[in-house]
Amino acid sequence: MHMADALISPAVGGAMWAVTAGLATYAAKKVQHDIDDRKIPLMGVLGAFVFAAQMINFSIPGTGSSGHLGGGLLLTLLLGPHAALLTIASILTIQSLFFADGGLLALGCNIFNMGFFPCFIAYPLIYKPLAGNNPSQGRLFFASLVAAIIGLQMGAFGVVLETLLSGISELPFAAFVLLMQPIHLAIGIVEGLVTAAVVLFILKESPEILKRSASGKPFGNIPIKPVLVVLLIATVITGGALSWFASSDPDGLEWSIVNVTGKGELEAPEGIHGILAELQEKIAFLPDYNFKQSEKPAATEPKEEAASWPSVDTGTSFAGIVGSALTLVLAYTIGKGLRRLAK
């Protein structure tokens, strides 16, 4: 659900950048109250894990579409809403800058849609009431599923509203929303199942993480090394190998655009859109999670053939590992900086 710059106007993009900057500043101040030496590495490792997980698009049967994990709710359950927002912002920033996944102008929209709704709406208003203070495995599973679905529905609707406010006439509100909401309902179900599975693992290995995050308290002396090790291994396997199995079908947003407009993508206007597109092209050294075309080995002229599955590709593996590492470093650095400010 990464929006491209062509979907929004400069006014909407600038306004959402300002809103998101305000949210990030607020979150940073709140994180200083509960950040400690246990939560900092967990921010980094979880950010890396979600980055890698987002590379795996799963097919939605019978639609010709696909979806991927958003990760906002998962991060919130394990880090608390404020640290989660900063972590999802780290992921989306790395994706936009170095992998050209989501536009630079649209970055504020993407952070808001994929971060604000799960962190500050779905978590406190849906998950917490359903889970209760001492959730059983059944209640935790149900709360994770419902909150993930509703959070993604709100994020998808946010995309529709942002295109409407931007005056994108090629995407009429009624037609666009009638495609965006159902397809993201299906994607939300899968996200809820994945979120619940990871959280149930954490509940078994280190339940205090969930309790401390829910209460907004520092982690203290909670043993988190086993969790970090498992997540790091899962990140390397996911980004380095499981990414080969990603569906090549368009994601829910792309699929909706195709079905409304008949085109794979909208053409961005000149001006600020063009300037940012050129800047992104220069910065993104692994566009679309692979080597740039000029960097690929120039063997014989390639023949037209059907794409294989799984798509075993060293470029994809390299992008998965590098992107996860960059996200880990950025999220960890943010946590470390806020820890120093809190002292």
User: Is residue 101 included in any domain, yes or no?
Assistant: yes
Q: Is the bond leading into 223 cis (omega within 30 degrees of zero)?
A: no
Question: Averaged over 195-224, what is the pLDDT?
Answer: 91
pLDDT at residue 192 greater than cutoff 70: yes
- Domain range for 117: 5-292+309-342
User: Is residue 43 included in any domain, yes or no?
Assistant: yes
User: Is residue 77 included in any domain, yes or no?
Assistant: yes
What span, in angstroms and rounded, lies between the C-alpha atoms of 290 and 78? 30
User: Is residue 23 included in any domain, yes or no?
Assistant: yes
Which pLDDT tens digit goes with each residue over 241-267? 999 999 999 999 999 999 999 988 898
User: Is residue 300 included in any domain, yes or no?
Assistant: no
What span, in angstroms and rounded, lies between the C-alpha atoms of 226 and 242? 22
Q: Taking Cα atoms as reference points, which of 342, 332, 154, 107 lies closest to residue 228?
A: 332
User: Is residue 179 included in any domain, yes or no?
Assistant: yes
Characterise 311 by phi-psi region: left (phi > 0), alpha (psi -120 to 50), beta (else).
Answer: beta
Categorize the per-residue pLDDT at 68 as very low, low, confident or very high, splitting at 50, 70 and 90.
very high
User: Is residue 299 included in any domain, yes or no?
Assistant: no
- Cβ neighbours of residue 298 under 8 Å, at least 6 residues apart? none
pLDDT at residue 309 greater than cutoff 90: no
Question: Averaged over 143-147, what is the pLDDT?
Answer: 97
What average pLDDT does the structure give for the chain? 93
Helix pair angle (10-31, 137-165), 10° resolution: 150
Cα dihedral 113, 121, 23, 16, rounded to 10, equals: 30
pLDDT at residue 301 greater than cutoff 60: no
Domain count, the chain: 1
- Answer with the residue of higher pLDDT: 34 or 280: 280
CATH of the domain at 104: 1.10.1760.20
- Answer with the residue of higher pLDDT: 204 or 113: 113
Which pLDDT does position 26 carry in this prediction?
A: 97
DSSP SS3 for 178: helix
Residue 317 sits at φ, ψ, to 5 deg, of: -60, -45
Q: Give 61-124 as a DSSP string.
A: TTTTEEE----HHHHHHHH-HHHHHHHHHHHHHHHHHHH--S-STTHHHHHIIIIIIIIIIIII
What span, in angstroms and rounded, lies between the C-alpha atoms of 62 and 259? 14
Whether 258 and 185 have beta carbons less than 8 Å apart is answered as no
Categorize the per-residue pLDDT at 294 as very low, low, confident or very high, splitting at 50, 70 and 90.
low
Q: And the tokens for 237? A: 């396997």
What span, in angstroms and rounded, lies between the C-alpha atoms of 321 and 99? 13
Q: Enter the pTM of the model.
A: 0.94
Q: Is 328 exposed, middle or buried (CB count within 10 Å of its CB: 0-12, 13-18, 19+)?
A: buried
Kindly provide the residue ranges of all beta strands, DSSP E only, lying in 109-192, ordered along the sequence: none
Which pLDDT does position 1 carry in this prediction?
A: 84
Residue 251 sits at φ, ψ, to 5 deg, of: -75, 180
Whether 157 and 181 have beta carbons less than 8 Å apart is answered as yes
User: Is residue 328 included in any domain, yes or no?
Assistant: yes
What span, in angstroms and rounded, lies between the C-alpha atoms of 231 and 234? 5
What span, in angstroms and rounded, lies between the C-alpha atoms of 264 and 197? 34
What span, in angstroms and rounded, lies between the C-alpha atoms of 212 and 273? 43
Residue given tokens 């679309």 in the structure block: 288
